[in-house]
Chain A
Amino acid sequence: MSEEKSEVKAIVTPTKLVYQFSAIGSHAEFLKAISEGKLVGERCPSCKKVYCPPRGICPRCGVETPEKVDIDDKGTVTTYCIVRVPSENIDLKLPYCAANILLDRSDMPIMALIQECPAEDVRIGMRVEAIWAPEEDWGPTMENIRYFRPIDEPDVPTEEMGDWY
């Protein structure tokens, strides 16, 4: 009797690790604020840059950042890309636009979706505002902001956007 040897092409080795993340310090304050519909950042005492979301430190200067700053939910597009490829986890109509948005009073762009305009219309310098989820759905998460949409304000020239990074 001859024995057929089949090649092992794949194996499944299930892994499960459970973590309990406790937000502390700046993380906790940011998540608490956003669950009340507010954005909060921190200013570096040394270089004066404002970070939102804050991390409790300035990565440039290596110092703590205790000073709180209220951040607006309006901002300016600093760069963007137009996504034309479907993805398993994202239920959006193609094409859509993901952008870096420099919030007013902050020096660090955040990444968000731009909606309510054709993706092709998005441009660097465009002014946008946050569209929040209904208040009853708010929790300690960035997902409270569903997306940003254009507002009727003149574009900000690149050289006036400031020295963010």
Chain B
Amino acid sequence: MRDVAILSFAQTPYKRRESERTEVQMVLSVVTDAVEKSGLPKSDIGFTCSGSSDYLAGQSFAFVGAIDGLGAWPPIAESHVEMDGAWALYEAWIKIQTGMCNTALAFSFGRASMGSLPETLNMQLDPYTLGPLGIDSISMAALQARAWLDQDNHTERQMAEVAVRSRKNALNNPDAQLKGDFEVEKLLSEPYLIEPLHKHDCPPITDGANAVVIAAADAVPSGANPVWIRGIDHRIEPHQPGFRDLTQSPSTKLAGEKAGATRLDIAELHAPFTHQELILRDALGLDDDVRINPSGGALAANPMMVAGLTRMGEACREIWAGRAKRALAHATSGHCLQQNLVCVLEGD
């Protein structure tokens, strides 16, 4: 295995609607920023991989259009995953492991505000038997929350506590979208959005883009502040939700074990819904002394296709700021935590 480090992270401010810049301009700004912070000349980047979904803009080949933001001339080695940017980083990491390159750029972007996100996410379901029922992503999460609440005396209060902590933590995150001091009692007294989910159990809809630069140990420039990827693994569960125990996350558990998720100071968990954070904590066996989502997590800003890679960036920020030595970053994809990636990061 080659040791690989994250050198830099850049993001747009996450907001409900990006009304000043096109996707391509968003990509240009984060890519330029991440490359600059990495200390590597742009021409040294050996491979580029992006994560996005054309369904968000409703435009075919939007992911190809985004390459215009790279200044890809002379032509570059490039790839794309129709997944969160965390998986773009994974592909870039694999590429470095194969020896095909020594440095790589991973970026992701999503402008979900152009469509109706819960309905758009229905497109992730099997198109023959489940998708045509018209179920949206919030209803899917509500099914999961109901199953979870029905177990082990779990309560809606525990879920509301996750929302309160997330949005309180986000007060320290200038790029977060939803932040503030909320009271559990008050949140619980509000009407359900889709029972048993309240609005506070659900993520905001967010526009945003981000980018990271990674490098093999021998390609880390002098003066860099590398955060080492000590382990990275992703696992997937069946596509049909009916095949799964939605109250557990065996794919996260296994990915965590493979990635060596122990002795952690913080964990950035990509849990768009409150109960999902509790399922993830359980799957990863996180002790109470592990700080969860100091950035506010996906409940404070959830740019689709971007929020997973953001967890890695936020974990790096904690390490760069000296607030953590060893961190876990998690990303999820699909309905009800279908697929999960765990990455363990450590400072120099």
Residues of A within 8 A of B (CB): 11, 13-15, 17-22, 24-27, 55-64
Q: With A13-B131, A18-B115 as given contacts, are A56 and B55 in contact (CB-CB < 8 Å)?
A: no
> Cβ of A61: which chain B residues have Cβ within 8 Å of it?
71, 73
- List 4 tightest A-B contacts by C-beta distance, closest first: A62-B71, A59-B68, A19-B58, A13-B132
Q: Which of A13, A19, A58 contacts B71 (CB 8 A)?
A: A58
Would you call B19 and A24 a contact (CB within 8 A)? Answer: yes
Q: Which of B67, B127, B131 contacts A59 (CB 8 A)?
A: B67
In the complex, B46 has a CB within 8 A of chain A = no
Cβ-closest chain A residue relative to B42: A62
Q: With A22-B19, A56-B24 as given contacts, are A17 and B115 in contact (CB-CB < 8 Å)?
A: yes
Q: How far is the CA of A133 from the CA of B22 in the complex (A)?
A: 29
Cβ-closest chain A residue relative to B57: A19
Would you call B25 and A57 a contact (CB within 8 A)? Answer: yes
In the complex, B31 has a CB within 8 A of chain A = yes
Q: Which of A17, A19, A25, A60 contacts B22 (CB 8 A)?
A: A25
In the complex, B243 has a CB within 8 A of chain A = no
Would you call A56 and B25 a contact (CB within 8 A)? Answer: yes
Cβ-closest chain A residue relative to B31: A62
In the complex, B123 has a CB within 8 A of chain A = yes
Provide the B85-117 mask, 1 if CB < 8 A to any CB of A, else 0. Answer: 000000000000000000000000000001110
> Cβ of B21: which chain A residues have Cβ within 8 Å of it?
24-25, 56
Q: How far is the CA of A51 from the CA of B28 in the complex (A)?
A: 17
22 contacts between A and B (CB under 8 A): A17-B115, A17-B119, A19-B58, A19-B114, A22-B19, A25-B20, A25-B21, A25-B25, A27-B22, A55-B68, A56-B25, A57-B24, A57-B28, A57-B69, A59-B69, A59-B70, A59-B71, A59-B73, A61-B71, A62-B28, A62-B69, A62-B71
Would you call B22 and A59 a contact (CB within 8 A)? Answer: no
Our count of residue pairs bridging A and B at CB distance below 8 angstroms stands at 73
Count of interface residues, chain B, beta-carbon cutoff 8 Å: 30
In the complex, B158 has a CB within 8 A of chain A = no
Q: How far is the CA of A17 from the CA of B55 in the complex (A)?
A: 9
Q: How far is the CA of A62 from the CA of B32 in the complex (A)?
A: 8
Would you call A26 and B22 a contact (CB within 8 A)? Answer: yes
Provide the B37-73 mask, 1 if CB < 8 A to any CB of A, else 0. Answer: 0000010000000000001011000000001111111
Q: How far is the CA of A13 from the CA of B127 in the complex (A)?
A: 7
Q: How far is the CA of A25 from the CA of B32 in the complex (A)?
A: 19
Q: How far is the CA of A26 from the CA of B120 in the complex (A)?
A: 27
Q: How far is the CA of A59 from the CA of B31 in the complex (A)?
A: 13
> Using a CB-CB cutoff of 8 Å, which residues 315-345 of chain B contact chain A?
none
Q: Which of A18, A55, A56, A60 contacts B116 (CB 8 A)?
A: A18
> Cβ of A59: which chain B residues have Cβ within 8 Å of it?
67-73
> Cβ of B32: which chain A residues have Cβ within 8 Å of it?
62
Would you call A64 and B132 a contact (CB within 8 A)? Answer: no
Provide the B125-142 mask, 1 if CB < 8 A to any CB of A, else 0. Answer: 001100110000000000
> Cβ of B42: which chain A residues have Cβ within 8 Å of it?
62
CB distance from B57 to the nearest CB of A (A): 8
> Using a CB-CB cutoff of 8 Å, which residues 126-164 of chain B contact chain A?
127-128, 131-132
Besides the known contacts A55-B24, A60-B73, 10 further A-B residue pairs in the complex with CB atoms under 8 A apart: A15-B131, A24-B20, A26-B22, A57-B24, A57-B25, A57-B28, A59-B69, A59-B70, A59-B72, A62-B69
CB distance from B127 to the nearest CB of A (A): 6
> Cβ of B31: which chain A residues have Cβ within 8 Å of it?
62
